[in-house]
A = this chain, B = another copy of it.
């Protein structure tokens, strides 16, 4: 059931780094993105895959983690992603990428979740550095980095409280809490017979 999968598919930032994610798995995930919708079917997205410790470490050094957790600089060694999918846009195909990378990212992470993995779409990227590390040509725009691995954190969805804050937070036992706006707050009008 897609509802269960969507609910289970929480943005995850701590992983069992020693649990490998192989290239075959990453390709299966990209295939889900490949078969998803693309604006005007242009399909301008391309992918760089990494599941090798040294390169993972280089990619990790380009990423910003969990802006609301001010005292947490990101996952420690041993809890970092075992793989990355870097989504880049080919500007020789299209200058604009619309929401293609959102659609692709959602397909990929739902697929990862089904495989017992988890991940996170990361937009806070040192793009200049990542371009050097991965030798990304000027023909490509860096859009998103998806971290992937076996999850090592408990995440709870909650309703936004009376203070209205949407900031996720961690309790003393390390459980990650994510406040979501209730349905009645996000549906602003209905037109029915």
One digit per residue, 1 when the CB lies within 8 angstroms of any chain B CB and 0 when it does not, for chain A 111-136 equals 10010000001010000000000110
Q: Flag if B105 contacts A36 (CB, 8 Å).
A: no
Q: Which residue of B lies closest to A3 (CB)?
A: B32
Whether A152 is near chain B, meaning CB under 8 Å from some CB there, is no
Copies of this subunit: 2
Q: Flag if B30 contacts A183 (CB, 8 Å).
A: yes
Distance in Å: Cβ of A8 to nearest Cβ of chain B:
10
Instruction: Count residues of A near B (Cβ-Cβ below 8 Å).
Output: 74
One digit per residue, 1 when the CB lies within 8 angstroms of any chain B CB and 0 when it does not, for chain A 67-88 equals 1100000000000000000001
Told that A41-B68, A102-B106 touch, could you supply 16 new A-B pairs with CB distance under 8 A?
A6-B32, A23-B192, A30-B187, A34-B186, A39-B123, A40-B67, A41-B179, A45-B186, A46-B187, A46-B188, A47-B187, A49-B190, A50-B190, A99-B121, A101-B102, A135-B189
Q: A-B pairs with the 5 shortest C-beta distances?
A: A102-B102, A99-B102, A50-B191, A55-B191, A106-B106
